[in-house]
Amino acid sequence: MNQFFVCAVAIVIIAIIMTMTGRGGGNFYIPILVAGGIAMYQAATTGRLILVAAALSALVVFHNHQTVDWKLVLVIDPPTDIMAFMGVPMSISSAKCI
């Protein structure tokens, strides 16, 4: 239980710092989770979940300070989403070639 608490505190501190600086921080979350005894594949998916939670909390803060350019979001986000979904099959097929 103590190891879980230490990992949780470390992740929260890193998430705050990385969100404030505009970085992701996923490369820090996964080693902390693995050191905490979580399997690698679970640590990778949990790291992604932490990134999403940090991004959503930052979005709320920036929206409350009226610093989000929603017109730009509507221009940039749809192509990004489409390409992300197109990239998954491409990465899977390229991994099969190796």
Domain boundaries, given as residue ranges, for the chain: 1-67, 69-98
Q: Is the pLDDT of residue 34 over 80?
A: yes
Residues written for the chain: 98
Of the candidates 18, 77, 90, the one whose C-alpha atom is nearest the C-alpha of residue 50 is: 18
pTM metric for this prediction:
0.70
d(CA 92, CA 61): 36
Q: Is the pLDDT of residue 6 over 70?
A: yes
Report the amino acid identity of residue 54.
A
Whether 24 and 51 have beta carbons less than 8 Å apart is answered as yes
Instruction: Please write the tens of the pLDDT for every residue from 57-98.
Output: 888 988 999 999 999 999 999 999 999 888 888 877 766 665
